[in-house]
A and B are shown apart, each in its own frame.
Chain A
Amino acid sequence: MISIKNLHKSYRMGDSSLHVLKGIDLDIKEGELVAIMGSSGSGKSTLLNILGMLDSIDEGEYLLDNVLIEGLTETTAANYRNKFLGFIFQSFNLINYKNALENVALPLYYQGLGRKIRQAKAMEYLEKVGLKDWASHLPSELSGGQKQRVAIARAMASQPKVLLADEPTGALDSNTSNEVMGLIQQINNEGKTILVVTHELDIAHMCKRIVTLRDGVIVEDQKVEQVIVENHV
């Protein structure tokens, strides 16, 4: 599903340049649940941004679902993001003046679907994350865990090939974290490929594979025994 070869990325910081990713090779197959671990500054967020087509590559090759991602214009990148990727952010990034249903329906709007279909689909995904009754609530009326579940429903709604989660539990307490990870595991069990960036070991162990980054290189890549979370949803 995802194939990265010899990926390099550096950032210009004034006169000097900061070499963040120093030759990453990574293969992720369909249906995997991968944790990308690393302390801050290890390059894990940069890697995720590149995978999410939010950032460009200096050197190397990136194949997403056998499509070479290279030299994209903003417009094609937007279309690919819409078609291939679903994002889950640490700070949820829900649009605060739209209710839960409208937030979930938003990527479908950018897919060009009709209003009725959008609403029906969005409701379906809200139901999936157990928030059907909260459809008309604004983000400010939801708890942190509920917000992240809405965000997950939104990421799922466009039926992406890959879900990218950037510290999805970073803003949540441990109970709610488990709840959200349980949902991610459930979605993964239904066959979706998911990448989770985290620096918490217990969260990483809820995935099936842990890739550890340090100073811009992969230092460890191992399959682990998945800790199954009791599903509260």
Chain B
Amino acid sequence: MFNRDRWQEIFETIRKNRLRTFLSGFTVALGIFIFIVLFGFGNGLKNTFKQFFLDDATNTLWVYPGTTSKPYRGFKANRRIEFENSDLQDIKDNFQFFIEDITPRINRSAQVKYRGESDNYSTRAVAPAHQFVEKTIIMKGRFINQDDVLNKTKNIVIGRLVAKDLFKNENPIGKYLEIGSSAFKVVGMFQDQSGDREERLIYMPYTTQQLIEKNNDKISSIIVSFRPEFGYKTALVFEEQLRLFLKKKKSIDPRDNNGIRIRNVADQIRQNQRFAGVLQLIVAFVGIGTLIAGIIGISNIMVFVVKERTKELGVRKALGATPKSVIGMVLQESIFITALSGIAGMIGGIALLSNMGDRLEEFFIIDPYIDNFTAAMATALLILFGAIAGYIPAKRAARIKPIVALRDE
């Protein structure tokens, strides 16, 4: 293995058989390159999936009012249910054991102006707890606080993209925006992992929105976060009790499923995780498939290479090469080539992945990567199989009587 003469002989063979060397090297390099890139893209797909679905807090129930489908206690069917401020307080009082936090949400959209610039944006009127259920990240200033809610202040928190649209490079904090017909003071700027849509939002205190709308007490929906130490089953129990409580309060038939809608994020997370698992499986499958294709490729090349050299090996045997030295030479050469080109392909693949970053975001591939262990293992596997694929025909070639090999004209 460490014989200098052997290496010299091998280098000479490699140098003088460029096509053969190129073919086997290229197969291995390409195989490992494609494996790494595909595997990395698969991981990128998983990253996107996580950003889409696993970004919000997982211990939340989203409660929406619906329309009844059954008459009940003198009420007709098709009654629209509405939530108001008292519902918030009642939920808080009755479910202290389960609840961590609670926030209402009122969705609106409005024309927003700043100096010459103006555009339409969605607004969300919320309580401070909303920051945690939506995992809003404050970049500058602060979020809506309890003080804002109590005093119905005209303070707003704007998304990163709102600030970019309206303020360009200006610092938005402390500036005033015109929403509808009133002026609001920007007290904070946020970003959100969920994507561009979330970052084009404006948050304000829900009480302020109600004040503008003739001082009513209506809210669009309620988001409740339960204590995170509760497991999935407790969350389901809580969901059921909350549903019964609200149905009773709003005089909805207990058998009517349309009056109140509750989205349990814990439930959804479970489904999403299952989906992520399937995605992982697909990525693994693609990876293994590519690797097998690579192994078959290098095996074919090795069989071809040895076949092509049968006569040469016969000559070498006639000149005194032992079977061991023939096998050793073929193997050492093939391992040398596959190792070198395998590593080159691996480095190339990893380099491509790390340069990709967010460039393929529109194809739902974010930050594709492969961990070093998987990459190294795949490369080692390909080299190993290349060696095995070379060993079998080399062994046969070494066993052939030189006279048979030489007769092959």
B-contacting residues of A (Cβ < 8 Å)? 49, 52, 54-55, 74-75, 78-79, 81-83, 87, 89, 91, 93-95, 97-98, 102, 106-107, 109-111, 114-115, 154, 158
> Does B93 reach chain A (CB closer than 8 Å)?
no
Which residues of A have CB within 8 Å of B116? none
Which residues of A have CB within 8 Å of B402? 54
**10 new A-B pairs (CB below 8 Å) besides A54-B318, A54-B401?**
A55-B401, A55-B403, A78-B320, A78-B321, A89-B406, A95-B312, A97-B17, A109-B9, A111-B320, A154-B319
Given A54-B401, A109-B9, the answer on whether A93 and B406 have CB atoms closer than 8 Å is yes
> Does B399 reach chain A (CB closer than 8 Å)?
yes
Which residues of B have CB within 8 Å of A97? 13, 16-17
> Does B70 reach chain A (CB closer than 8 Å)?
no
Which residues of B have CB within 8 Å of A81? 317-320
> Does B297 reach chain A (CB closer than 8 Å)?
no
Q: Is A91 within 8 A of B409, CB to CB? A: yes
Q: Is A109 within 8 A of B5, CB to CB? A: yes
Given A81-B318, A87-B318, A115-B5, the answer on whether A110 and B401 have CB atoms closer than 8 Å is no
> Does B324 reach chain A (CB closer than 8 Å)?
yes
Closest to B398 in A: A74
Q: Chain B: interface secondary structure?
A: helix
Beta-carbon contacts under 8 Å, B317-340 to A: 317-325
Beta-carbon contacts under 8 Å, B1-22 to A: 5, 8-9, 12-13, 16-17
Question: Can you show 26 pairs from A to B with CB atoms below 8 A apart?
Answer: A54-B318, A54-B402, A54-B403, A55-B401, A55-B403, A74-B322, A74-B323, A74-B399, A75-B322, A75-B323, A79-B320, A81-B319, A81-B320, A83-B320, A91-B406, A93-B314, A93-B315, A93-B318, A97-B13, A97-B16, A102-B12, A106-B316, A106-B319, A110-B321, A111-B320, A158-B320
Which residues of B have CB within 8 Å of A93? 311, 314-315, 318, 406
Give the complex CA separation of A184 and B321 in angstroms. 25
Given A78-B322, A115-B5, A115-B8, the answer on whether A95 and B315 have CB atoms closer than 8 Å is yes
Please give me the 3 A-B residue pairs with the lowest Cβ-Cβ distance, nearest first.
A82-B320, A110-B320, A97-B16
Give the complex CA separation of A106 and B16 in angstroms. 15
Which residues of A have CB within 8 Å of B312? 95
Give the complex CA separation of A97 and B323 in angstroms. 21
Give the complex CA separation of A114 and B9 in angstroms. 12
Which residues of A have CB within 8 Å of B318? 52, 54, 81, 87, 93
B374-409 contact mask (Cβ, 8 Å, vs A): 1 or 0: 000000000000000000000000110111001001
Chain A nearest CB from B221 CB (Å) reads 78
Closest to B13 in A: A97
Chain B nearest CB from A28 CB (Å) reads 20
Q: A98 contacts which of B8, B16, B314, B317 (Cβ < 8 Å)?
A: B16
Q: Is A107 within 8 A of B320, CB to CB? A: yes
Chain B nearest CB from A189 CB (Å) reads 25
Closest to A49 in B: B403
Closest to A112 in B: B5
Give the complex CA separation of A81 and B320 in angstroms. 5
Which residues of A have CB within 8 Å of B12? 98, 102
Which residues of B have CB within 8 Å of A83? 320
Give the complex CA separation of A111 and B399 in angstroms. 20
Chain A nearest CB from B105 CB (Å) reads 77
Which residues of B have CB within 8 Å of A98? 12, 16
Which residues of A have CB within 8 Å of B406? 89, 91, 93
Chain B nearest CB from A85 CB (Å) reads 8
Q: Is A75 within 8 A of B319, CB to CB? A: no
Q: B322 contacts which of A54, A79, A107 (Cβ < 8 Å)?
A: A79
Closest to B9 in A: A109
Which residues of B have CB within 8 Å of A106? 316, 319
Chain B nearest CB from A47 CB (Å) reads 12
